[in-house]
Structure 1
């Protein structure tokens, strides 16, 4: 996933060093030599993440961060503060100024890329939600800005997963009485523990006895209601390679042991605030979306909404050089379902299909009912490998289990899928839809119940 990174440091040598590292990973880099210059760039350009030096003349990094987070236009941009200061109080000060993370000089390459990847992923999801709000005539984004100002991080519901009871209790003591904290010392029960609970954060120890901590995180992510649950790993210095892997898998943050009380509290507050903000944003989008852009039967967005949003997202992908994929899905032999079982049964199949579709795409993807038994999914920041994984997951979720329209009448349903990618500046919404449609018809001709790609 590409991104535009702003490096802010008053020492050109430091700027150049970070610039070379990031450009080697194909990030687009902007630079600023002062706080005011950085604020000006962020206010006039689309920046995805900011690497911000603390010690600068006239306006230090803490003040720059506070101003960024106070500006509705820039408050959602992730900020990583880079500092030579090594006192926990300095790190806490940065987090409380609104920074999403920090790195200590000299900057470690592994930590740098892990932080950037993790926060770029978060920024991408936030941008998609904001874009949907804009498509819904800006109402949701206005509500979300007001909601951010009102968010209180107290009273968080936290789960600690650690086989070391004494260590877990010490961490619990750091976080109470501000938060409600449970301890789980049997990681194999993690799925059972989070099922039906409303946790807002999970703290997972990397040193679990006889259990892979990344497996625990993966299991939490597979549950529908905990898919977006923030996870912080508690790691030792030797765990760094696995921490990088964990961040790639979607873990939100990590904290190094021995754990300092104030840093832990600040990181916990940051994650809970971010989680509650995302919930507010999603709820705002859901509550304010007019019936004119939703499909009554399935609850998905309709063709009208899709056409408008596709234009917005394609323009963004082209201007920022980002990947984007589009897939069209058609339920196989749906007319036979209506003819054999009746239109009421057909309606139930459409509703269940929409449910399975939403459950098996990602949070960043947009699913719409295209018309009749045809559906479409828009996938920002998605290459061919990722698109194929999502499309195949949806196809399998439809085919592997019958649709129960009523007692004793299971219906076997399959779906054909056509997928295409945004590949050039010449692409238009119409050409993308046409290519995906061509791929869909190939899937039908080649036997149905399959995924087919069509290139430009």
Structure 2
């Protein structure tokens, strides 16, 4: 896994040592000797992760970390504080400043690399989601980032998986008042609870009896519903090798017993915030995908979606020797509506027509707005005779009840013309099917509008 690591330390020897260790593991390394220099590098989006010393002149590492996490442009960059400070209060201060981890010098190579790889993997996943969810805004100013900065990391749902009652109760007591904690003493039942419970964090005791805790962690990572759920290990001091293995299988964080309550709370808050941030990114991505294939005015699928899926529906119908039909629908004299009532009035007609159209077709039918006042309905498993019945239903739904404008202030007669075409055989393609339906539509208009005409081919 390649990544660009920013190492920040005012002592040149420390910079060279960390640079050599990271370069040997094939990371791309850049360095900074001051806090301001580090902030400038991060603002230019030139690194994937920051290794940050605390004791520096001018601006210390805690302040650098706070500024990085408060800035929407750099909030997402993981920060590991590496320092000679070893008091619990120092560790807590670093975590509360927003650091993703706090390591005390001297740090073993294997532990440092495992942590760097774990956080780099999470950061790259987040980068992919952020880029894919981007629409018209700058990524750094997205709603997800703004919310993440304001998030306190409290009021999450936490599942503790520990078969020792005294241990799980101590963890629950430490988190009381900040998180909603549930306890599961049966590791085999835990996976089902995680999958069904929508937890923000899962805490797993590494010393489970008669069950491999890392296997449970790997199973949580393998399920689609729980793949993004943060997992935190609670380990004994002699279980470092197992902790490193846990980081390799996807564990997000760990604590060594005896667990310091304030550090536990700080690390769980960090994981809750990360889970919520990821959920917001995924939600933004889903919304962006929906916007890309949906007509904003009517809520129907748009032309892009239809063009993408129509040929596959035709191929499926041909391979199964099943019928398929298409309707092209046009609102009659729509220009008069815009000229008389303005575009707001025209938009009201389009929205109301779309509601009536959706009410006239099945869930498996593909209803799309091509643009302007023209619409298409693709109907799998539908022959020409049934398609004509559906087209008449759409026409009647429009002509039988007048359209309301301005919340009932005006009533408007609206009619539609419909062209119908059905699949002729394996030689048919999307373009030819729609062309025949379009020709039938023009015939309906030529014959006086407010009527259905079927393709005679």
C-alpha distance in structure 1 between counterparts of 2:292 and 2:182, whole Å? 44
1:121: which partner in 2? 121
Deviation at 1:343, TM superposition (A): 8.3
2:99: which partner in 1? 99
Contact 1:2–1:26 (Cα < 8 Å) also in 2: yes
Contact 1:199–1:229 (Cα < 8 Å) also in 2: yes
2:50: which partner in 1? 50
2:130: which partner in 1? 130
1:186: which partner in 2? 186
| TM-score, with structure 1 as normaliser | 0.65
C-alpha distance in structure 2 between counterparts of 1:140 and 1:289, whole Å? 19
C-alpha distance in structure 1 between counterparts of 2:301 and 2:235, whole Å? 44
Q: What's the CA shift string for 1:177-202, capped at 9, x where partnerless?
A: 22111111110111222232121111
Distance of aligned partners of 1:171 and 1:293 in 2 relative to their CA distance in 1, 3 Å threshold: same
C-alpha distance in structure 2 between counterparts of 1:37 and 1:105, whole Å? 23
C-alpha distance in structure 2 between counterparts of 1:205 and 1:10, whole Å? 38
2:33: which partner in 1? 33
Q: Secondary structure at the match of 1:80?
A: strand
C-alpha distance in structure 2 between counterparts of 1:125 and 1:195, whole Å? 21
Deviation at 1:171, TM superposition (A): 0.9
Deviation at 1:37, TM superposition (A): 1.2
Deviation at 1:285, TM superposition (A): 3.0
Contact 1:235–1:256 (Cα < 8 Å) also in 2: yes
Q: Secondary structure at the match of 1:237?
A: coil
C-alpha distance in structure 2 between counterparts of 1:234 and 1:139, whole Å? 35
The residue correspondences of 1:70-85 to structure 2 (distance < 5 A) are 70-85=70-85
1:339: which partner in 2? 321
Q: Secondary structure at the match of 1:272?
A: helix
Deviation at 1:303, TM superposition (A): 11
C-alpha distance in structure 1 between counterparts of 2:50 and 2:215, whole Å? 31
C-alpha distance in structure 2 between counterparts of 1:342 and 1:170, whole Å? 64
Q: What's the CA shift string for 1:201-246, capped at 9, x where partnerless?
A: 1100110001000111122223332221110000122222222221
Q: Which is further off, 335-344 or 140-149?
A: 335-344
1:213: which partner in 2? 213
Contact 1:140–1:284 (Cα < 8 Å) also in 2: no
2:246: which partner in 1? 246
Deviation at 1:47, TM superposition (A): 0.7
2:360: which partner in 1? none
The residue correspondences of 1:351-366 to structure 2 (distance < 5 A) are none
1:199: which partner in 2? 199
Deviation at 1:248, TM superposition (A): 1.5
Deviation at 1:149, TM superposition (A): 3.3
Contact 1:52–1:80 (Cα < 8 Å) also in 2: yes
C-alpha distance in structure 2 between counterparts of 1:191 and 1:157, whole Å? 15
1:169 aligns with 2:151: no
Q: What's the CA shift string for 1:128-161, capped at 9, x where partnerless?
A: 1121133555489521232223323222111111
| TM-score, with structure 2 as normaliser | 0.65
The residue correspondences of 1:412-423 to structure 2 (distance < 5 A) are none
Q: Secondary structure at the match of 2:254?
A: strand
**Structure 1 gaps, min length 5:** 306-329, 351-456
Distance of aligned partners of 1:64 and 1:138 in 2 relative to their CA distance in 1, 3 Å threshold: closer
2:87: which partner in 1? 87
Q: Secondary structure at the match of 2:69?
A: helix
Distance of aligned partners of 1:9 and 1:140 in 2 relative to their CA distance in 1, 3 Å threshold: closer
Contact 2:130–2:139 (Cα < 8 Å) also in 1: no
Q: Secondary structure at the match of 2:160?
A: strand
Distance of aligned partners of 1:141 and 1:167 in 2 relative to their CA distance in 1, 3 Å threshold: same
Q: What's the CA shift string for 1:278-308, capped at 9, x where partnerless?
A: 1122223323556335799999x96999xxx
C-alpha distance in structure 1 between counterparts of 2:139 and 2:99, whole Å? 27
Contact 1:293–1:304 (Cα < 8 Å) also in 2: no
Distance of aligned partners of 1:280 and 1:339 in 2 relative to their CA distance in 1, 3 Å threshold: same
Q: Which is further off, 35-44 or 132-141?
A: 132-141
C-alpha distance in structure 2 between counterparts of 1:64 and 1:303, whole Å? 50
2:260: which partner in 1? 260
Contact 1:174–1:265 (Cα < 8 Å) also in 2: yes
Q: Secondary structure at the match of 1:238?
A: coil
Higher Rg of the two aligned structures: 2
CA RMSD of aligned residues (A): 3.1
Distance of aligned partners of 1:235 and 1:56 in 2 relative to their CA distance in 1, 3 Å threshold: same
Q: How many residues were matched structurally?
A: 323
C-alpha distance in structure 1 between counterparts of 2:307 and 2:16, whole Å? 47
**Structure 2 gaps, min length 5:** 327-362, 367-457
Contact 1:89–1:262 (Cα < 8 Å) also in 2: no
C-alpha distance in structure 2 between counterparts of 1:343 and 1:193, whole Å? 46
